[in-house]
Chain A
Amino acid sequence: MIAAVWFWLVAIMIAGYVVLDGFDLGAGIVHLFIARTDRERRQILASIGPVWDGNEVWLIAGGGTLYFAFPALYAAAFSGFYLALMMVLWLLILRGISIELRNHIESALWWPFWDVVFGASSALLAILFGTALGNVVRGVPLDANGFFFLPLWTNFRPGPEPGIVDWFTLIAGAAAFVALAMHGCSWVVYRTEGDLQQRARAWGAKTWWAVLASTALITFFSFRLQPHLEAQFAAHPWGYVFPLLGLLGLAGTRVFSARLRDTAAFLCSCLYLVGMLTSAAFGVFPYVLPSNVASQGGLTIFNASAANYGLYVGLAWWIPGMLLAAGYSIFVYRRLPAKVNE
């Protein structure tokens, strides 16, 4: 039971990461297209400047929580997706310094260089995160010790010898890319005014269609490829609430955005991401990393979790710790001015 509690707590932390860092990744993806002048670039950067570092802490804290609650999963997934994860690390480094170092030097060459680094690293990170989720849904070739190693690609087919990148995980990567691009647009709309806001709104509206299409595609192929999803939803029909939340969020993003209710549109975009991620989590439960080899069982919350004592002790510090963290976040977000003033 306690392992199931931690499954959902980790899922919440990952969803928190995707929603929060998602909007600054998304802002990075779209800033080269929607910001026309250096001043507009600075406005976008200023909108994420005070918060992006805190958003990324959700990744670190979520990773740490995953580590102690499900050590066998942490060990298997991190070593198995080795090459992709190392690239994630390099991109996080490049992206962090592109945000932090851009405005240290006044130079017409320095700025555009870091802008491109910021845009490209944000885009690749979104794709890689989506690909990673696609890999979890598809399953990996676990060996008898519960380990695996995937090359970056093999024959681009999610068959018995898959790579990290195949056509299915690529769709997942594309879905994450367009979803975070839309999320980034709604953040920029919510945080800025004037021409920049208009352009972000227009791009967001176009991206919405791509999100709709990729949501349909990824849902269809996920159910085709991972039979456990269908079994899980059939056994526990209440679980349909998660995809329903995602669809509500997606519809709400469109409706509120058209009515210029920018805060509500941004929150709906958050809801869409939470709905999609919790649907995936619910769908694979109780697996944390399914196997795509028929003879091997996957990693589940039962065989990948830490001992009960540690899990109960963890609750005792995790709950007050995360309440504090939520308090800091609310404090900072409430202090942000209504719009970025630059």
Chain B
Amino acid sequence: MDSALAVHRLHFAFTVTFHYLFPQLTMGLALLIVILKTIALRTGNPAYDQSARFWVKIFAINFAVGVVTGIPMEFQFGTNWARFSKDAGGVIGQTLAMEGVFSFFLESTFLGLFVYGEKHLSPKMHWVTAFLVFLGSWLSGFFIIATDAWMQHPTGYKVGAHDRILLDSFWGLVLNPWVFWQYLHNMLAAVVTASFVMASVGAYYQLVGKFSEHARIFLRTGVVAGAIAVVAMLFPTGDGQGRMLANHQPVTLAPMEGLFDTSEGAPIAILGQPDTDAMKLDNPLLVPGALSFLTYRRWGAEVRGLKSFPRDLWPDNIPLLYYSYHIMVGIGTLLIALMLLSIWSLWRGRLYESRPLLWALLLALPFPYIATTAGWMTAELGRQPWLIYGLMRTAAGFSPLVSAANALFTLIGFMGLYLVLGILFLFLIHQEIERGPQPAIAPAPGVPSPGVAA
């Protein structure tokens, strides 16, 4: 049965990781497009409208891939995690159903008007459709985070007969204290991804000398939004989430930080490799006292190390958890530095001509994606060995009658399909970026617009 558990976990991990590459852009981009359209309305500058239109095309392709890869996520709760669904569906089914009813109907309805309706709508009405798509996607993010937060820190439930987990308080579920920081942190990450993508495309156009006016708009918008969001990821949201973790999942915090021994004035490890056999961190590069300070606001505070917790409560993949967390923080730090440098340079009026900085922004494109993925891996690996923290172990949640072989069969199917989807996506995005912002609302000759993302 162990191998079935591993395959089911990998099945979900693979499909959700691939899926989330797309919504993290569309949620952030929805906000940036609303900003571009607001500036266009206020100033009447057509370059802002053209910029918004260009990003709507990128948005639409991402949205389409996000939708088709998102449907399997809801299904997999039932197909691969049937025991979990049976016991906990009465609780987390609520938030998942609310996502469908409140966000997806809103989003899908106004997306068509948003993507194609500009010709038929007044500028203000078109702004409204952009805003509603933004609202729908951010609501959707909320319901998913509320679902995950409940698995991280269950609230508003009681345990009934046959170990069934029953909803006891609707508001306890929706206003789970864990949701607050996690939601803000996650949505800011989406803004960071979109900002870096926008700035990166702007840097590319600027470096090759194309679409100069739009390039500057992309750089300006991306750098200003990105700088604000990336700093807010560290403080207060990252800090807030870290302290939630210290309070409610201390056995996760210890291995994340590579802290094996309980210590006063615990250090932060910037580098190092956790050795779970010898129970120590190899080649450590430490900042003394920093972990105590960040966690308890006192340099000398005691932080519990991994050894002080019973082994059956330890996360089951400690090195991967440690590396995920360090990759997230490491990349996050570099992204903060790059954005601060860029916004300073923008303020001094030098950004558009600074080739090294433009190169750095261009090459930064994949890193917010990597950081976000690593962040989610930290959250989900850190939750182990629990599926619902403290309530149900992951090993008790997968479908009892779906064999490892059947799960592997479909995992391979998804891998093949997503490989094709990824190649198609890159190809089409590349084509849109090469085509660039267009001066007027002119669909390519002879190409009507049948699909949502045509």
Contacts and interface: CB of A to CB of B under 8 A. Distances in A.
B387 to A, nearest CB: 13
Interface in A29-82: 42, 45-46, 48-54, 56-57, 59-65, 67-69, 71-72, 74-80, 82
By CB atoms of chain A within 10 A, which of B77, B89, B110 has the most? Answer: B89
Interface residues of B, number: 76
Given A146-B86, A148-B401, A103 B447 contact: yes
B238 interface: no
A97 B67 CA distance: 10
B402 interface: yes
Interface in B83-102: 83-94, 96-102
The majority secondary structure among interface residues of chain A is: helix
A111 B164 CA distance: 51
A49 B167 contact: no
A178 B67 CA distance: 28
A96 B64 contact: yes
A145 B79 CA distance: 16
Interface string B395-406: 000011111001
A92 B94 contact: no
B454 A78 contact: no
Contact of B67 (A53, A63, A76, A309): A53
A66 to B, nearest CB: 8
Contacts of B431: 104-105
Contacts of B414: 90
B93 A332 contact: no
Contacts of B399: 75, 79, 82, 147
Contacts, number: 251
A96 B90 contact: no
A101 interface: yes
A97 B167 contact: no
Interface stretch (B68-76, B249-257, B267-275, B314-322): B68-76
B75 A63 contact: yes
Interface of A: 42, 45-46, 48-54, 56-57, 59-65, 67-69, 71-72, 74-80, 82-83, 85-86, 89-90, 92-94, 96-97, 99-106, 143, 145-149, 306-307, 309-310, 313-314, 316-318, 321-322, 324-325, 328-329, 331-332, 335, 342
Closest 3 CB pairs of A and B: A71-B89, A68-B93, A78-B78
Given A61-B101, A93-B68, A322-B101, 13 more contacts: A49-B454, A54-B105, A61-B97, A65-B100, A65-B101, A67-B74, A67-B77, A67-B89, A86-B413, A99-B450, A102-B450, A104-B454, A310-B166
